[in-house]
A and B are shown apart, each in its own frame.
Chain A
């Protein structure tokens, strides 16, 4: 929401070479309408007050920046701090963006809300804000994800929204996005599409980033307060990239802070069975934006593999592609196994069961903490809590309830 400093994206929605607005013509007007509404409202004091009031009273912001004492001891180098997005209402950072976008939908007079979801967190967050305003809500979810995130499916239904299982293609997040876009093309006049990540056509990557930047803005103040300097590094997992972008964005001009995005390495980046386009992809167009993409040698989008439904996506937000090429952020990948190990370790060391997505960020500490001395301060963005993943992890561990 802080609009006084950055210039990207440009007027066509590009971050350097990446981004744009590559959608069927029927959606062009809807995107223009959204962009002009957002531009009009984003600096409007009344709109901002409502946004921050909802974040405070309904979401419970600011989320704490918490010192992870035992994890810090475990590594024995720098101090590890946890940005507790898992404590937000609905259990993840996803609610920040939906709080903002539902206000836009309301201003635009839209009666029907749609969204895609992978891990189900964005579906829950969208169903939550739609319920609050009494709006009809439809959530698209890959049928494979409906299976592995059944708890969130039920939460979405409890919130009064309809879940549409998507069987086409790989039956995961990318296919849910395809189906949501098709719904939007069909019902464009009365429907608002709340995209859940910094992906999709312009202006979505900008809007989702701005709303979620509340995370990074809080981090600047909390870092000053708690350790009186800017952090040496911020580590966040990257699927589409919204939690990372929200944490990174206010730090782009704070050069002493390293920005590190951790992608899903699946079976290992070298095996090709992963969801790490920034590590092992090439630029391509998917879901309305040009960005790094996992594609085969005929220009088709490749299937992905990750234990984490929320990271199981072949594309990534265009601003991350720009941050990668410009060198401002670093992008690494960790395997399913490393993430699962971190999932257990963080639970036992800190009494915090992280989402499997978040566990990827934690897993990278094994490598990263060796690069720092005791004076360093490292922030891990705890993007969400792991309750939704209990069934998945139990099954992997051979436990039946």
Chain B
């Protein structure tokens, strides 16, 4: 069974919420990313979402944009990300890994994805594609990789069903109108929309974009199957990029994990 599917279904069976943590591959460098991935796991993170850097990340706010730029200065490509994850897999074969990025990069490396060496990757989330489109039609597929589609507050009800059905990993509910890291959460709207999605989706629905505080995390996990945290982690990575002391991130994630149980 696909690691992502298994992890999410185990959590559900135990009545627990998923914690997904995001970082950008190669920010500040590859060895730090592997170190951070291990730290995530130790801190109770259930799923690691790896941002694939792109020159033109139109859905990202300033914090994650800068992380993409830093990673690109280190010449990070999808190729180096696959080797990095293979390295991580040498000692961790349980934690699901999602690649999140932009269509151009995935199309460019569709052979690597199809191959999915060492069964490294579990899921792909393409930010800039309508949720009902099948990535397979763009040559992006691999037998053991599922896909994650986004649904946002502006998604019309007539499309929710087809997007939810097209999503095989989980449904990613974008909690706000805006880019990653913005701060205009509307909990009522979120809770109503997640409810609507759950009517149609056979996979869990997770919420992300704009979750910063432990309180945000708690509120949103109450109305979903789990949450995704990105910008606030990436901000802390940036602040510690010289010292490479990432303990604070571990503490932050541990605290969030506790709050959403």
Asked whether, in the complex, the Cβ of A188 is within 8 Å of the Cβ of B177, the reply is yes
Q: Please give the distance in Å from B180's CB to the nearest CB on chain A.
A: 10
How far apart are the CA atoms of A169 and B70 in the complex, in Å?
11
A185 to B151: give the CA distance in the assembly, Å. 13
| Contacts between the two chains (Cβ within 8 Å), count | 112
Contact present for B65 and A168 (CB under 8 Å): yes
In the assembled complex, the Cα of A29 lies from the Cα of B131 at a distance in Å of 12
State whether the Cβ of A44 lies closer than 8 Å to any Cβ in chain B.
Answer: no
Q: How far is it, in angstroms, between the C-alpha of A284 and the C-alpha of B103 when the chains are bound? A: 9
Bound CA–CA A68/B149 (angstroms):
56
| Binary contact track B160-192/A, C-beta < 8 Å → 1, others 0 | 000100000000001001110010000000000
Select the residue from B69, B105, B154, B156 with max chain A CB neighbours within 10 A: B154
Question: Is A398 part of the contact surface with B, judged by Cβ < 8 Å?
Answer: no
- B151 close to A301 (CB less than 8 A): no
Among candidates B56, B108, B129, residue contacting A287 with C-beta atoms closer than 8 Å: B56
**Could you tell me if B54 and A22 are in contact, using CB atoms closer than 8 angstroms?**
no
Contact B177 A185 (CB under 8 A): yes
Looking at the complex, which of B3-11, B72-80, B232-240 is the stretch in contact with chain A? B72-80
A13-50 vs B: 1/0 string, CB under 8 Å? 00000000111111111101000000000000000000
- Interface pick from A54-62, A174-182, A206-214: A174-182
Interface of A is mostly: mixed
Closest 3 CB pairs of A and B: A299-B108, A298-B77, A186-B178
Complex Cα distance A32/B154, Å? 11
Let me know if A28 and B155 touch, CB within 8 A.
yes
* A174-B56, A186-B178 known, 7 other contacts, Cβ within 8 Å: A29-B156, A186-B177, A186-B179, A188-B177, A299-B107, A300-B77, A300-B105
Contacts of A187 in B (CB 8 A): 177
Q: Is A245 at the interface (CB under 8 A from chain B)?
A: no
Q: Which of B27-79 contact A (CB under 8 A)?
A: 54-62, 65, 69, 72, 75, 77-79
Please name all residues of chain B whose beta carbon is closer than 8 Å to the beta carbon of A286 when the two chains form the complex. Answer: 56, 104
Asked if A24 and B154 make an inter-chain contact with CB atoms under 8 angstroms apart, the answer reads no
**CB within 8 A of B54: which of A21, A23, A300?**
A300
Which of the residues B57, B109, B174 comes within 8 Å of A26, measured between beta carbons? B174
Closest partner residue, chain A, to B105 (CB atom): A299
A to B CB contacts below 8 Å, 28 in the list: A22-B103, A22-B128, A22-B129, A24-B59, A24-B127, A24-B174, A25-B131, A25-B150, A25-B151, A26-B177, A26-B178, A28-B155, A32-B156, A168-B62, A178-B57, A182-B59, A182-B61, A185-B178, A186-B179, A187-B177, A189-B154, A189-B177, A284-B104, A298-B108, A299-B78, A299-B105, A301-B54, A301-B104
Q: Judge whether B78 and A298 touch: CB under 8 Å.
A: yes
Interface hub of A23, A178, A185, A187 (most chain B Cβ within 10 A): A185
Interface of B with A (CB < 8 Å)?
Answer: 54-62, 65, 69, 72, 75, 77-79, 102-105, 107-109, 127-131, 149-156, 159, 163, 174, 177-179, 182
Checking A22, A174, A189, A284 against B108 with a beta-carbon cut-off of 8 angstroms, the contacting residue is A284
**In chain A between 166 and 219, which residues have their CB closer than 8 angstroms to a CB of chain B?**
168-169, 174-175, 178, 181-182, 185-189
Return chain A residues, CB-CB under 8 Å to B149: 25
Interface of chain A residues 255 through 301 with chain B (CB within 8 A): 284-288, 293, 295, 298-301
**Docked-complex contact A178 and B105, CB < 8 angstroms:** no
- In the bound complex, do residue B56 and residue A24 qualify as a contact, i.e. CB atoms below 8 Å apart? no
Residue of B nearest to A300 (CB): B55
A287–B179 Cα gap in the complex (Å)? 15
Distance in angstroms between the alpha carbons of A106 and B133 in the assembled complex:
32
What is the interface residue range for chain A against chain B?
20 to 34
Task: Give Cα A285 to B55, complex, Å.
Answer: 12
In the assembled complex, the Cα of A293 lies from the Cα of B103 at a distance in Å of 13
Contact A23 B128 (CB under 8 A): yes
Contacts of B150 in A (CB 8 A): 24-25
Q: A29–B155 contact, CB under 8 A?
A: yes
Return chain A residues, CB-CB under 8 Å to B130.
21-23, 25, 28
List the A side residues contacting B128 at CB < 8 Å: 22-24, 285, 288
Min CB distance B25 to A, Å, is 12
Complex interface: chain A residues within 8 A of B154 (CB): 25-30, 188-189
Chain B residues whose CB sits within 8 angstroms of the CB of A288 once the complex forms: 128
Interface pair A295/B108, CB less than 8 Å apart: yes
CB distance from B1 to the nearest CB of A (A): 28
Chain A residue with Cβ nearest B109: A299
The answer to whether A182 and B56 have CB atoms under 8 Å apart is: no
Q: Cα distance A271–B6 when bound, in Å?
A: 51
Residues of A within 8 A of B155 (CB): 25, 28-29
A28 touching B103 by the CB < 8 A rule?
Answer: no
Chain A residues 311 to 356 lying within 8 A of chain B, measured CB to CB, are none
* Chain A residues whose CB sits within 8 angstroms of the CB of B62 once the complex forms: 168
CB distance from A184 to the nearest CB of B (A): 9
In chain B, what residue has the closest Cβ to A180?
B58
Task: Please tell me if the beta carbons of B109 and A185 are within 8 angstroms of each other in the complex.
Answer: no
What is the CB-to-nearest-CB distance from B133 to chain A, in angstroms, rounded to a whole number? 9
B58 contact from A25, A178, A284, A299, Cβ within 8 A: A178
Which residue from chain B places its CB closest to the CB of A28 in the assembled complex?
A: B130
A residues less than 8 Å from B55 (CB atoms): 169, 300-301
Most A Cβ at <10 Å: residue of B59, B61, B153: B59
Complex CA–CA separation, A244 to B173 (angstroms): 41
A182 contacts across to B, CB distance below 8 A: 58-61, 179
Most chain B CB within 10 A, of A26, A169, A175, is at A26
Q: With A and B bound together, what is the CA distance between A83 and B3 in angstroms?
A: 62
Query: Closest CB-CB distance, A192 to chain B, in whole Å?
Result: 15
Which residues in B have their C-beta under 8 angstroms from that of A293?
104
| Complex Cα spacing A262 to B61, Å | 35
A298 CA / B55 CA spacing, docked (Å) = 11
